[in-house]
Structure formats: structure tokens, C-alpha cells
Amino acid sequence: MGRGLFISLEGGEGSGKSTQAKRLKEWLESQGQCVLLTREPGGTPLAEQLRQVIFEPAAALDAVTESLLFQAARTHHTTHKILPALAEGQVVITDRYLDSTRVYQGVLGEKSVAWVDELHRLTAGDVWPDMTLLLDIPAEIGLPRAKSRGDATRFEAMDIEAHEKIRQGFLQLAAAEPKRFVMIDASKSLDEVSAQMQAAVQKLLERGDA
């Protein structure tokens, strides 16, 4: 297809995704790669506006509207930012993508994973990451970390059982697609987590797509 590489970072709250995404970008650039670092929900001005709407504490979103807003943001982000960067041969790193909707709105929420996948296929052209790095961390370690950041979304306000369910949801998705998912032990030190991620991405680069 003659395109760059598409890497998503997934995981529960406080798994260190955002910090590790920046570190991965710096490492890839040191390897001579041209990198786009982006995030969901967000990544384009419109999608960032949708992020505000979704996380507005007073928004009384029902399950379908919530899923549609996440997917609307994703479709815009995919069409206007991710696909053009991939077409230029860049490495795209996104802090969350479709698997977050599959877990938060699918496994945890009222919609099924199959429903989320079909919505994605219908609206975003069935674009999937080449590699998904799952930063796995027990909820009892991740949740206090996320809360100490002080920018809690209402998703972070959920109880520990919900967070453990999110973790198990990601683990189930990873088990179902062992070729796409790479498990990263995010309870390790910053440097150790970065090293695990770099090793995985190095293999992807060696597969020769970039």
C-alpha cells in the first residue's frame, strides 16, 4: 500500500500512555523517522471540540450518543489527520483509538464490541492500527496515578471495579488479536516501559513497512 505505520497506544487510566507516547515519538525521530503524535478523542480542531462536549460534566449522554460522538471525532481525525500522514509515509502514534471505544462503550457500556466495529467500518473506512501497544497496569496502581494528575474526566471518576473491568476488556481484545496487540507491563519504571515499547516498534520497523 506504500504508506507509513499506524501505532495506537491503549490502556486504562494512569497507565502512563501520554508520557510514553512522547518518549516513543522522540525515540523514533532519533531513528530518522518522521512522526505524527496525536490523541483521541481529539487530534483535529473539530474532534477536540467534540472532546469538550463528551467530557462536559453536565452532558447527559446516553450510550448511543456517547459512542457516536467518540466515533464522529474518530472519523474526522482519521480522514483529516491520520490517513494523510500515513499517505506521506509518516509513523502515526495515537494515544487511544478504536479499541478504547470497544472497551469503554462496548465491553463496559451498553453497546457490543461488534456494534462498535460495524460503526467504525461504516464511518471510518475500517482503518485499523498496524500495531497496538497495550499498557497494562492493575487498576489499584493506575487509578491513584490518574487521580493525582488532577484533570479527572468523569471516566476517571468511576470506581475501582469498573477500572478492573476496563483492564480485563483490553486483555480480552489483546488475546483475540495477538498479532496486532503487544502487551506492555506498565507497572515497571518509565525507562523499562519505554524499552519494552521500543523493542516492539523496532520489530514492526524491521518488518519493512516504513
E strands, 73-177, in order: 91-95, 131-136
Grid cell 506521506 is found at 88
d(CA 189, CA 30): 21
Q: Does 104 bind ligand TMP (CB under 6 A)?
A: yes
Q: Which residues pair with 35 in a beta bridge?
A: 91
Residue 25 CB partners (closer than 8 Å, separation 6+): 35, 37, 93
Q: Which is nearer to ligand TMP, 8 or 210 (CB)?
A: 8
Helix (H, G, I), strand (E, B) or coil at 202: helix
* SS3 annotation, 17-53: HHHHHHHHHHHHHHCCCCEEEEECCCCCHHHHHHHHH
**In the range 7-26, which residues lie near ligand TMP by CB under 6 A?**
13
Q: Does 96 bind ligand TMP (CB under 6 A)?
A: yes
d(CA 146, CA 79): 30
Q: Which is nearer to ligand TMP, 106 or 210 (CB)?
A: 106
Q: CB 116 → ligand TMP: shortest distance, Å?
A: 8
Q: Does 40 bind ligand TMP (CB under 6 A)?
A: yes
Size of interface with ligand TMP, in residues (CB under 6 A): 12
d(CA 106, CA 98): 11
Of the residues 6, 70, 170, 181, which one makes contact with ligand TMP according to CB under 6 A:
70
Task: Enter the DSSP assignment of 158.
Answer: S
Of the residues 38, 78, 94, 101, which one makes contact with ligand TMP according to CB under 6 A:
101
Of the residues 61, 155, 165, 188, which one makes contact with ligand TMP according to CB under 6 A:
155
Contact region for ligand TMP (CB under 6 A) — 26-34, 93-101, 189-197, 198-206? 93-101
Q: Does 153 bind ligand TMP (CB under 6 A)?
A: yes
Of the residues 41, 43, 129, 169, which one makes contact with ligand TMP according to CB under 6 A:
41
Q: 10 Å Cβ neighbour count for 139?
A: 22
Binding site residues, ligand TMP, CB under 6 A? 13, 40-41, 70, 96, 100-101, 104-105, 153, 155-156
